[in-house]
Amino acid sequence: MAIPDSHDTAPWDAKRPPSGRHLVRRALPWLGAVLLLALIGWGLWPKPIIVELGVVARAPLTVRVSEEGKTRVRILTTIEPAASPLLDPRARAQAQAVVSMHEAARGKASESLAAVRSAVKMAEADRDRMRAVRREGTISGSDRDRMESEAAVKAAEARAAEFALQVIDYELAQARAVLERPEGALSNNLVEVKSPVTGRVLKVMQESETSVTPGTPMLEIGDPTDIEIEAEILSRDAVTMKPGDAVDIEQWSGSASPLKGRVRRIEPAAFTKISALGVEEQRVIVLSDLVEVPDAAKSLGDRYRVEVRVAVWHADDVLVVPSGALFREGNTWKTYIYQNGRARRIPIETGHSDGRLTEVLSGLRAGDKVLLHPPDAVKDGTAVKERGDL
């Protein structure tokens, strides 16, 4: 009789239910699958987008027009020498002949004036004798009128001769001036040119020795302590400005505070200028005066670069929103407000803006929170979270 193997299982043992350990082992793959699905679902579930928020508030607002400018000396004088040149022998002879001709003409005019004056005396004497006769019928009326008229005509001829003599005197002075040299002329034909104003030499146009024609600029002289600011403003911005507007002059030094100024003059005519992008622009020169010049700004010279910011509008108390929270859809300005952890897109009506803050006319209230520079992923109703809440 054979002995059964201990490793063999009895037929009735195959129907015995599995143990708990065996069940755990069989459930592990399913648990892993469920956990994996949960992780995938959690990863795909939309999370709040991290955003930065700004607050709508009431605050003062100043609208400024910014443009690059430059300093320039207010009193600026250009020295333009106009010394008469030397005459060659032929030109000098011609000039002397012209002087002699005018001298002869003056002598002739003097003799003519003397003759006319004698005729005036004779006519006035006849007129006076005629006036002395009082008896009726002694002198006819036509003779009286003729004597009065002749005296008046001779007086007018005398005055005309005097004017003619003055004209000849002027012509003679001009002819003699051609032969004269300037008072400051030296023996080597150097001309002493004196500055018409007190100041410093700002620019030398002609540095090397050469002959200059009359009207050629040689130097620019001015007072560097009397500075004004020149800026080329777009014409559409210049129409919003007026003399007396406040001006901030910035970037004149590395770390210094802005200089204060006032608009003094807005040129009435614009000019065309090509921008760096090749676009034609109409610009207007706006001149501003410094209100106060601190000691640090006294080092500013002529044609130094500065940044000009002109205040064209101001209000002490308006409802403002950060400009970074606004965007356009068509012709409408819109923004996202933060409500209960979600972004809500709303249209608003805006007013003035200084680039950093924008006036709100309708659509928002003080204390509303808005999304600053919202990313493209943000839509109406998107869950968002403020960056500081992380």
Token digits of residue 193 = 């040119």
Query: In the prediction, which pLDDT does 185 show?
Result: 45
Which of 126, 154, 179 is the last residue before a domain boundary?
179
pLDDT in tens, 111-121: 888 888 888 88
Strand segments (E) across 171-304: 200-204, 219-222, 227-234, 246-250, 259-266, 271-274, 280-290
Q: Are residues 274 and 325 part of one domain?
A: no
Measured between alpha carbons, how far is 316 from 66 in angstroms, rounded to an integer? Answer: 21
Structural domain that includes position 102 = 89-179
**Cα-flanking dihedrals φ and ψ of residue 108, to 5°?**
-65, -45
Residue 280 lies in a domain: yes
Q: Count of domains in the chain?
A: 3
Q: Are residues 339 and 293 part of one domain?
A: no
Q: Are residues 326 and 379 part of one domain?
A: yes
Residues of the chain with pLDDT under 50: 1-2, 184-187, 390
| Nearest partner of 95 among 191, 181, 190, judged by Cα | 181
pLDDT in tens, 196-242: 777 788 888 888 877 777 778 888 887 777 889 999 999 999 999 99
Residue 327 lies in a domain: yes
Which of 144, 179, 214 is the last residue before a domain boundary?
179
Q: What three-state secondary structure class fits 320?
A: strand
Q: Are residues 293 and 345 part of one domain?
A: no
Residue 384, number of CB atoms within 10 A of its CB? 22
Question: Tell me, what CATH number does 246's domain have?
Answer: 2.40.30.170
Query: In the prediction, which pLDDT does 144 show?
Result: 73
Q: Are residues 309 and 232 part of one domain?
A: yes
Question: Tell me, what CATH number does 337's domain have?
Answer: 2.40.420.20
Residue 19 lies in a domain: no
Residue type, 229: I
Which of 160, 179, 198 is the last residue before a domain boundary?
179
Q: What three-state secondary structure class fits 361?
A: strand
Residue 211 lies in a domain: no
Query: In the prediction, which pLDDT does 241 show?
Result: 93
